[in-house]
Structure 1
Amino acid sequence: MDAGAVGVLAGTMAFGGVAAGLAGCFGLRQAQRVSRTGVRVPALVKERPGRLGEKPPPVLQFVTEDDRVMEVVSPVSPDRRLPLRDGDNVLVTYDPDDPRNIVVQGRERFAVERAFIICGAAVALLATALLAVSFAAR
């Protein structure tokens, strides 16, 4: 493979790695900010009808401090260990400036966000190494 093709490949990889890292940083920062400064309220879990054989994520219904009823699609998917069943109550923290931005307490996805940051950095470093080896071989 010639150096131009390797450069294009490395540039594409670096762009993808940086984008993944930035997405992880943004998600982590938002979740931490809402958890730290948001308003905690109980929310009701409601199932949504889905297509045949498909189970969409549930809706979380809660009342804001200014008495607005909000229904937000759950930002976390239910799993076997912590299912979200129709009629369950969970504690959510919402951003008072944008109540659609919520964090479900006890189900924060900090590990997923950190994984995006780590994988993005690893891909960007790999792309840089690939580019360095390509130019060194010329």
Structure 2
Amino acid sequence: MKPFVGVGKAYLSVSQLIELIEKSANESSYYFWRLSHKVSGFQKQPPLETDFPMIEGQMFDRKSELRWKYKRQGVYDVLLLTIAGEHEDFTLVGDAWQTQERDAHLYSQTETRFPKEFYTADLDVKQRYFIDSKTATVHFVALTVGNKK
């Protein structure tokens, strides 16, 4: 599988973003988004139109992470980090990516700085580093789903 890093060809409205999320989702997708006053925690269901406006969010599965970030006046910029090859809705960023997968270490469920709903017991989170082959620089760290032991 070929690594691909791409940005959206245009800013997306909330309805366009929800449509892209629905189009990209699969049964192993997880979601996480940030509002000005709280975070969603890891969710199995995508954000609804009533969850907007939000500062930023992400959807991730075994192959991809889709990130969105509020820009201005109700529009969002999107970034796709994937090992599934090129995607027609995105403009390629860089052309020499390699990836490395690593375990991710979350805080313990007894950690008091996060709400109880923050954790998902059945989620095995990993990280995928997107590294520029020419400079050996890590530019992005994407969340991904591993196989629960």
Please say whether Structure 1 and Structure 2 have the same fold, judged by a TM-score greater than 0.5.
no
Greater C-alpha radius of gyration: 1
TM-score, normalised via structure 2 length: 0.27
The structure with higher relative contact order (CA 8 Å, sep 6+) is: 1
| Higher helix fraction (1 or 2) | 1
